[in-house]
Amino acid sequence: LVAWVMFFCFLGSHSHGTYTALAGMEVVITTLFFLLYLLKLDMKMKWLGWLFQDIFNSVIAALFLLVVCLFAVVIKTNNGTLAGGVFGFILLTLCVVDAVVFWKISFGGRRERNAPAK
């Protein structure tokens, strides 16, 4: 939802095409990953390594969002661009949290049991 809001802020403010293109790309990629997990296609195509793809997407998106949102906030051609930059920073934070959580789930070491011991 944050990616959609950022996309519409950049689109509505008639800002540079780079801002809108990055926001639109992030909306499409996030929607595709959402559908992938919703339809459980990751279980049917295990050979592709979806977890690594998701972590890689989050890290690359965070890097692109950092650069573009810094430019959007610093240049601040109008209020829509500023709002899109702020929502981009929120999305950047969510991408970093997503990458860290998936990394800890995958390679976190020892897993504890939730059920009480008998």
Q: Measure the CA–CA gap between 115 and 118, rounded to whole angstroms.
A: 9
The 10s digit of each residue's pLDDT in 68-106 is: 888 888 877 788 788 888 888 888 888 888 888 877 877
The 10s digit of each residue's pLDDT in 10-63 is: 787 777 777 788 888 888 888 887 888 788 877 777 777 666 777 787 888 888
- Angle, CA of 30, 94 and 78, to the nearest 5°: 85
Q: What is the pTM of this model?
A: 0.69
Residue 45: C-alpha distances to residues 10, 19, 39, 41 (Å): 35, 33, 12, 6
Q: Where are the domains of the chain?
A: 1-41, 45-117
Query: Hey, how many other C-beta atoms are within 10 angstroms of the C-beta on 22?
Result: 24
